[in-house]
């Protein structure tokens, strides 16, 4: 192998490697990007995922039933209109709490921050007077008459299962928080995983001392300020700067209602918690009989039911004694406000504006109903596996499947991810992201589709460029639709082959310059090629002054033998017109004219057709015995004196044409003589005279086969026969050859 061949081979292998590497990179790119997003979890992905989960809740909100153990004592607009503007005197709130306690409430929880003294009660209004003896005497008189209830709310809180709210802040000096519950921890220190605050705004000390529960009312909304999760625990710095664990108001409401005194927090590396030594977060929180699975930061993802009229009891109805006892007995009473003027308004996945007290109720209902809406720790891993599988499947579909089927199956794959995710939410309260697997599948399908399309377009462009001059435009387009047929190698096909050659071209070329030879060949080849293409033929090549064409490859051409015969007759007519034109020009120029004529050989049969050559260069062509026979038949036209000779197989395949048997002739390279025919014309030109000529002609052939010694007399009689004379004159050369 020479150096040039080695260089070409190396260059070809490098090009293939580059194309394969580029294709693999394009195929893997969507999957790689999907995996990166899955594990990096950028904010935009988290936001989109939350929007999907929000829509799940809108499609299938948690079912609310009257037996849920939570009610909201609503200080609504109607209550403010009846009883006066907010804030109400604490004595009125004390009355409200006492009425609820008297009706058997399991816990009375104030979603109100009592951080300041009540300036609206007579007791506190007296403090605004000068500090003189008369002021104390007046106060004592009011107390004696029962007009002032000293610390009425504090006293009421001390007689009932109650809980008050406080607020954690990131600013201010650390202070001791009087936590009312005990904590038992299992595994890693949960404070490590909780949101940590620096200070707190607490209720007044006398209220804090009396209440049974004290919980934080902070929300930790997502980036879009929508409350999707509720914290059960927080971390806060005490006066010494050491963080301590504090409960949320919801946690305290559940604890007080059950009469529990300890909250159990289970974290990673606890008994039965498989963290394999890694600190992964909080696992669950146990409050009385309620075991609550949490996310790693101690938060609960809430499945919302939305605003429910049956959940709310207007405060004025309780104070007027109109509330239904069954709505209060053994239930947690959350006292808060939905009044339009209040600022405690939040957004949830179901509603854009919800009073904060309603969200507290939703959290407690979620826990009490046994809902465990969660995004499990293994969700990213499972989603990563699904997006890889989805990307591979849709890529293979785009590469190998029918385009319509691939598109439909890709839609089914995407719908499958969405359906499975929604089903997991609805049936198991589990949140799996369908977006990344679906988006990766779609991106993989699109990438592969574009790649296949570009590859197909390159192949079609190659086909059009390679065959535009050799095939009819319609055949080029049909071949471009399936370029896969143009590969190195080929197939066996039944075709019809045509060879044509210009008579006495060598002698003519000697009298012409090189430029005139080219002009002469172009003058002949142009119309002859057009005839081949118009008959749906394939121009194989020009062989000096001749051409080779075939039919029924690379695309199917029904009745291809008839197309070849029709082309041969048209080629003869075209040459006759060209000869007449050239003769007129030659005579006008005062030169002698040499007649222009062509011989044509046609054969039908099986050949091997395809791209023949090497990986570096190949031509679309045919090889086989049928090709050789057609070439030999074209050469035989000079000997037999007829312009078009066809094989017996072509005659059998073209019944709509007239043929004249030429007998058996020996062809070079063939071990036995072949029966051949002259193409006379279309069946439309058939006449009674021609049929009588055929009868006489058959008699001559029969005499030749019998080796009749009177063959010359028989041929002479045939030529003299009046009805066969026009045809006998045409076939005179043949008859002389037979003699």
* Tens-digit pLDDT profile for residues 130-139: 555 555 565 5
Give the tokens for residue 381: 């891993």
Return the pLDDT at 691. 82
Q: Among candidates 335, 435, 428, which has minimal Cα distance to 100? A: 335
The answer to whether 259 and 289 are in contact (CB under 8 A) is no
Give the separation between CA 298 and CA 230, rounded to whole angstroms.
Answer: 9
Tokens describing residue 677: 């025919």
Q: How far is CA 44 from CA 13, 48, 224, 230, 296, in A?
A: 43, 6, 11, 22, 21
Tokens at 673, concatenated: 């003589």
Give 498's strand partners.
549, 602
* SS3 label, residue 634: helix
Would you say 193 and 267 are in contact if contact means Cβ atoms under 8 Å apart? yes
Residue 593 phi/psi, 5-degree rounding, is -100, 130
Q: What is the mean pLDDT of residues 733-737?
A: 58
Give the pLDDT score at 306.
Answer: 94
Is the pLDDT at 685 greater than 90, yes or no?
A: no
Residue 338 has pLDDT above 70, yes or no: yes
pLDDT over 70 for what percent of the chain?
80
Tell me the two tokens of residue 297.
């930061």
CA atoms within 13 A on the CB side of 125: 9
Instruction: Give the pairing of strands 70-74 and 282-287.
Output: unpaired
In this prediction, residue 617 carries a pLDDT of: 56
- Give the whole-angstrom CA distance, residue 93 versus residue 319: 9
Res. 313: pLDDT tops 90: yes
pLDDT at 482: 66
As a whole number of Å, the end-to-end CA separation of the chain is: 57
- Return all residues near 339 (Cβ < 8 A) that are at least 6 apart: 75, 76, 77, 79, 80, 86
Mean pLDDT of 236-242: 89
Reported confidence tier of residue 693, pLDDT bands at 50, 70, 90: confident
Looking from the CA of 18 toward its CB, the CA atoms found within 13 Å total 6
Interval 475-533: pLDDT, tens: 566 666 666 555 545 788 999 999 999 998 888 888 888 888 889 999 999 999 999 99
pLDDT, position 506: 83
| Residue 708 confidence (pLDDT) above 70 | no
342 Cα distance to chain centroid: 48
| Lowest mean per-residue pLDDT among 14-23, 624-633, 651-660 | 14-23
Tallying the residues shown for the chain, one arrives at: 739
Q: How far, in Å, CA of 497 to CA of 601, rounded? A: 8
The model's confidence at residue 272, banded by pLDDT at 50, 70 and 90, is: low
The answer, yes or no, to whether residue 276 has pLDDT greater than 50, is: no
For the segment 268-274, the average pLDDT, to the nearest whole number, is 70
Structure-token pair, residue 521? 């060949």
Residues linked to residue 213 through DSSP beta bridges, in sequence order: 163
Q: CA 256 from chain center: how many Å?
A: 53
Q: How much is the average pLDDT of 571-600? A: 90
**Percent of the chain predicted with pLDDT > 90:** 55
Task: Read off the pLDDT of each residue in 636-645 and give the average, rounded to a whole number.
Answer: 89
pLDDT of amino acid 508: 84
State residue 594's pLDDT score.
87
Lowest mean pLDDT among 27-36, 143-152, 326-335, 671-680: 143-152
Residue 492 forms beta bridges with which residues? Answer: 608
Rounded to whole angstroms, the Cα distance separating 362 from 346 reads 13
Q: Which CA distances in Å does 159 have to 107, 163, 254, 261?
A: 11, 12, 18, 17
Mean pLDDT of 338-355: 86
As a whole number, the mean pLDDT across the chain is 85
* 393-443 pLDDT tens trace: 998 898 888 989 999 999 999 999 999 999 999 999 999 999 999 999 999
Give the per-residue pLDDT at 139: 55
If one compares 472 and 60, the residue with the highest pLDDT of the two is: 60
Mean per-residue pLDDT for 533-547? 90
Q: Given this model, what pLDDT does residue 458 score?
A: 74
Q: Is the pLDDT of residue 156 over 50?
A: yes
Q: Reply yes or no on whether the pLDDT at 334 is more than 50.
A: yes
- pLDDT given for residue 208 in this prediction: 94
pLDDT score of 286 more than 80: yes
DSSP single-letter state for residue 531: H
User: Average pLDDT, stretch 718-725?
Assistant: 56
Pair of tokens at residue 84? 């006066």
**Helix H or strand E encompassing 59:** helix 43-59
127's CB contacts (< 8 A; 6+ apart) are: none
Rounded CA-CA distance 641/600 in Å is: 11
The pTM of the full predicted model, rounded to 2 decimals, is 0.64
Which pLDDT score, from 0 to 100, does residue 275 have?
47
Q: pLDDT class for 277, splitting at 50, 70, 90?
A: very low
Mean of pLDDT values over 644-665: 93
């Amino acid at each position: 192998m020479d150096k040039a061949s080695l260089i070409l081979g190396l260059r070809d292998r490098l090009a293939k490697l580059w194309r394969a590497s580029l294709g693999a990179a394009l195929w893997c790119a969507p999957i790689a990007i999907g995996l990166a997003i899955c594990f990096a979890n950028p904010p935009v992905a988290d936001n989109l995922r939350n929007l999907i989960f929000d829509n799940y809740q809108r499609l299938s909100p948690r079912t609310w039933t009257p037996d849920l153990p939570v009610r909201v004592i609503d200080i609504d607009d109607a209550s403010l209109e009846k009883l006066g503007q907010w804030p109400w005197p604490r004595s009125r709130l004390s009355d409200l709490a006492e009425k609820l306690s008297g009706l058997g409430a399991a816990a009375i929880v104030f979603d109100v921050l009592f951080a300041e003294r009540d300036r609206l009660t007579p007791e506190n209004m007296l403090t605004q007077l000068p500090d003189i003896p008369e002021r104390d005497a007046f106060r004592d008189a009011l107390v004696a008459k029962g007009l002032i209830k000293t610390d009425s709310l504090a006293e009421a809180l001390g007689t009932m299962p109650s809980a008050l709210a406080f607020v954690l802040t990131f600013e201010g000096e650390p202070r001791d928080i009087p936590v009312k519950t005990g904590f038992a921890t299992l595994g890693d220190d949960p404070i490590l995983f909780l949101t940590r605050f620096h200070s707190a705004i607490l209720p007044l000390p006398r209220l804090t001392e009396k209440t049974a529960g004290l919980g934080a009312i902070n929300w930790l909304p997502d980036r879009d300020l929508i409350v999707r999760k509720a914290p059960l625990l927080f971390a806060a710095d005490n006066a010494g700067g050491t963080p301590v664990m504090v409960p949320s108001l919801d946690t305290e409401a559940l604890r007080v209602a059950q009469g529990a005194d300890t909250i159990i927090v289970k974290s990673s590396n606890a008994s039965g918690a498989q963290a394999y030594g890694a600190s992964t977060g909080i696992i669950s929180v146990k409050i009385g009989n309620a075991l609550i699975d949490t996310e790693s930061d101690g938060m609960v993802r809430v499945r919302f039911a939305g605003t429910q009229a049956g959940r709310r009891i207007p405060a004025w109805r309780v104070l007027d004694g109109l509330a239904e006892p069954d709505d209060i007995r053994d239930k947690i009473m959350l006292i808060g406000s939905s009044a339009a003027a209040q600022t405690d308004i939040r957004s949830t996945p179901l509603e854009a504006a919800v009073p904060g007290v309603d969200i507290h109720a939703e959290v407690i209902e979620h826990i009490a109903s046994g809902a465990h809406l969660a995004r499990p720790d293994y969700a990213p891993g499972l989603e990563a596996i699904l997006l890889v599988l989805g990307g591979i499947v849709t890529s293979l579909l785009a590469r190998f499947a029918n385009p319509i089927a691939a598109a439909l199956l890709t839609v089914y794959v995407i719908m499958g991810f969405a359906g499975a995710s929604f089903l997991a939410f609805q049936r198991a309260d589990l949140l799996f992201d369908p977006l990344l697997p679906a988006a990766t599948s779609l991106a993989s399908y699109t990438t592969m589709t574009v790649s296949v399309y570009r590859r197909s377009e390159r192949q079609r462009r190659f086909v059009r460029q390679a065959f535009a001059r050799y095939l009819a435009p319609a055949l080029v387009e049909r071949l471009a639709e399936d370029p896969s047929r143009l590969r190195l190698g080929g197939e066996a096909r039944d075709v019809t082959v045509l060879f044509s050659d210009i008579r006495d071209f060598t002698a003519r070329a000697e009298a012409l310059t090189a430029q005139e030879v080219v002009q002469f060949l172009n003058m002949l080849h142009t119309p002859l090629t057009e005839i081949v293409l118009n008959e749906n033929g394939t121009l194989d090549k020009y062989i000096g002054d001749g051409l080779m064409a075939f039919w029924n490859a690379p695309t199917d051409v029904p009745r291809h033998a008839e197309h070849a015969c029709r082309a041969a007759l048209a080629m003869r007519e075209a040459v006759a017109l060209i000869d007449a034109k050239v003769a007129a020009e030659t005579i006008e120029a005062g030169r002698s004219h040499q007649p222009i004529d062509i011989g044509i050989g046609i054969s039908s049969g099986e050949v091997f057709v395809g791209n023949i050559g090497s990986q570096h260069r190949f031509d679309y062509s045919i090889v086989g015995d049928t090709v050789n026979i057609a070439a030999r038949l074209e050469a035989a036209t000079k000997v037999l004196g007829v312009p078009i000779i066809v094989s017996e197989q072509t005659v059998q395949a073209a019944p709509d044409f007239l043929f004249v048997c030429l007998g058996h002739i020996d062809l070079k390279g063939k071990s036995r003589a072949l029966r051949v025919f002259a193409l006379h014309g279309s069946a439309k030109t058939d006449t009674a005279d021609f049929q009588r000529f055929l009868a006489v002609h058959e008699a001559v052939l029969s005499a030749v086969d019998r080796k009749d010694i009177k063959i010359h007399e028989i041929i002479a009689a045939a030529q003299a026969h009046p009805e066969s004379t026009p045809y006998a004159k045409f076939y005179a050369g043949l008859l002389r050859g037979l003699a």
